[in-house]
Amino acid sequence: MSPLAGPILTAAEIRGAEASAMAAGATVDSLMERAGQQIAVAVRRLAGANAILVVCGPGNNGGDGYVAARLLREAGLKVRVAALAEPKTDAAKAARAAWPGGVEPVADAQPASILVDALFGTGLARPLDAPDVPLPSSQRKLGSQAASAEQPPQETPASAGVMARNGAAATPITAKLRALAQAATLTIAIDLPSGVTTDDGRVLSDIPVFDITLALAAAKPSHLLQPAARHCGTIRILDIGVATTSAAQVLTRPNLPPPGPDAHKYTRGMVAIVAGSMPGAARLAGIAAMRAGAGYVLLLADDHSGPDALVHKPFAPQAIADPRIGALLIGPGLGRDADAVAKLDATLVTDHPLVIDGDALHLLKGNRLTTLATRDTPLILTPHAGEFDALFGASDASKIKRARAAAVQANAVIVFKGADTVIAGPDGAVRVAPGASPWLSTAGTGDVLAGAIAAMLASGLAPLEAASAGVWLHGEAAHRAGAAFIADDLAQALSAARATE
């Protein structure tokens, strides 16, 4: 069991990885057995001596559930199995056949202290309550005498002997799942919470929020993308012997060494920030850049307020021509008036690595974006959802796909912000940030992020690494800042985030 990290694979990619494992000698059954073993080890650790209910679906996710149930039972735990339908795949059929206990219809299942959801995983194709949900079969596999003796009699439905009752489909599966989850003290989803898609973070049905999700082989996009991610609870990855690689990775702590003994302010990186009609936002970005580790921050603003460490100069083409500038940030509090447009156009013709945020993103629409894409120097755009839609168009596609397409279109690293920030480069590389603090939803936090990213870019990191490091520092600072912080606190907390070992 390892924490959420490493490659992120779509359903098609995980099927490809599974196929490679099979080409190397594994079988679906051996992979399922291994998955079931790993699930059983994890559930045993989490469940203690508590009774367990495993709910199984018709596919291989259900098969994993049958294997885990058998192994947990062999380990001496009190386990019951409820199924939604007869297994459809050969491997799941074999796994069910090897389960020595009874199988009750999910509709009739009594709750247990531990709920294990093995209804659907990467094969979920439609909402759980859709009318074409397969009906359970009319057969109920009776357990052995010994197995039956272990089943609490009150948990065997009056309709025992048939797996389905007419009207089972009329009981919405999700309502039942919610009830079972509500009555449990711990809920564990296998691979994915049943009812979420694998690839794009959608929640297709009204399902519970699980305490733990045991992701098989690797993370999937919906473990990170909202709203599905919030249904997963704590995510742990189980190694089931399937090798996984992907251009998309879970964002993890960057390697940011402290300054060397010979460092000086310019080697640490000089950030210049173009201020506009709301200079407070640019100041926040400037403070954030310093606290993220920049050696020198120049605020191109007419007013002189803010910490003394920020150097102020009025905006002028000569000021932004300074060759020592390692990253030029424009957008926070820029405004969208003629003055803002003039500043943006002057900025875009420099050769500096650029970070473009906020108002400047709105001004990029059309020709400026097209021209920008022909630039050779590093470029990072940091849109939130509204800015992204305005710049690249709205779409229902996955946030990862959209960020990748935008990165190609703009020939830039895109930081598609939100509760599930996606960072994408034009070469297809992607990082997705897990677990953002909900307290980040306050004014000025985007300015702080832009400043942190600019500091990373000025320090000499490649754009994707700079954006990733900035997003990580920002997320870490938010966790350190606690609850109901203001953006100034967040900027302040970057120093401690930067010091994280």
Ligand X SMILES: NC(=O)C1=CN([C@@H]2O[C@H](COP(=O)(O)OP(=O)(O)OC[C@H]3O[C@@H](n4cnc5c(N)ncnc54)[C@H](OP(=O)(O)O)[C@@H]3O)[C@@H](O)[C@H]2O)[C@@H](O)CC1
- Whichever of 228 and 429 has its CB closer to ligand X, that residue is 228
State which of residues 10, 38, 194, 222 lies at the interface with K ion (CB under 5 A). 194
Residue 117 touches K ion, criterion: CB under 5 A: yes
Question: Rounded distance, CA 356 to CA 375, Å?
Answer: 14
At 88, is the secondary structure helix, strand, or coil?
coil
Between residues 182 and 441, which has the closer beta carbon with respect to K ion? Answer: 182
> What's the CA gap between 412 and 464, in Å, rounded?
9
* Residue 214 bridge partners (DSSP): 190, 236
| Residues engaged in binding ligand X (CB under 6 A) | 14, 18, 31-32, 35, 57-64, 88-89, 120-128, 130, 133-134, 190-191, 216-217, 240, 242
**Residue 219 makes contact with K ion by CB under 5 A:** no
- The answer to whether 255 is a known ligand-binding residue is no
Q: Establish whether 378 is an annotated binding residue.
A: no
Q: Which does 304 bind (CB under 5 to 8 A by kind): K ion, ligand X, none?
A: none
Residue 228 annotated as binding site = no
Q: How far apart are CA 481 and CA 490, in angstroms?
A: 6
Q: Which two tokens stand for residue 456?
A: 């990373």
Residue-wise DSSP of 60-76: HHHHHHHHHHHHHHHTT
Please count the residues of this chain forming the interface with K ion, following the rule CB under 5 A: 4
Three-state DSSP at 295 gives coil
Instruction: Quote the least distance from Cβ 454 to K ion, whole Å.
Output: 42
| Residue 64 annotated in ligand binding | yes
CA distance from start to end of the chain: 23
Q: What are the φ/ψ torsions at residue 18 (nearest 5 degrees)?
A: -65, -40
For 165, list phi and psi in degrees, rounded to 5.
-110, 150
Q: Which of residues 391-450 bind K ion (CB under 5 A)?
A: none
Burial of 366 per CB tally in 10 Å (0-12, 13-18, 19+): exposed
Amino acid at 233: G
124 is in an annotated binding site: yes
Work out how close the CB of 203 gets to ligand X at its nearest, in angstroms, rounded to a whole number: 12
The residue nearest K ion at its CB is: 194
In whole angstroms, the minimum distance from the beta carbon of 300 to K ion comes to 53
Minimum distance of ligand X from residue 36's CB (angstroms): 8
Q: Which is nearer to K ion, 4 or 275 (CB)?
A: 4
Instruction: Give the Cα-Cα-Cα angle 296, 302, 304 (nearest 5 degrees).
Output: 60
362 is annotated as contributing to ligand binding: no
CA 390 – CA 393 distance, rounded (Å): 6
> Considering the complex, what minimum distance in angstroms separates the CB of residue 155 from ligand X?
24
Q: Which residue matches tokens 């109920």? A: 140
For ligand X, which is the closer residue by CB, 250 or 453?
250
Residues that bind K ion (CB under 5 A): 117, 189-190, 194
User: Which positions make up the binding site?
Assistant: 60-64, 117, 121-127, 191, 194, 281, 333, 384, 417-421, 446-447
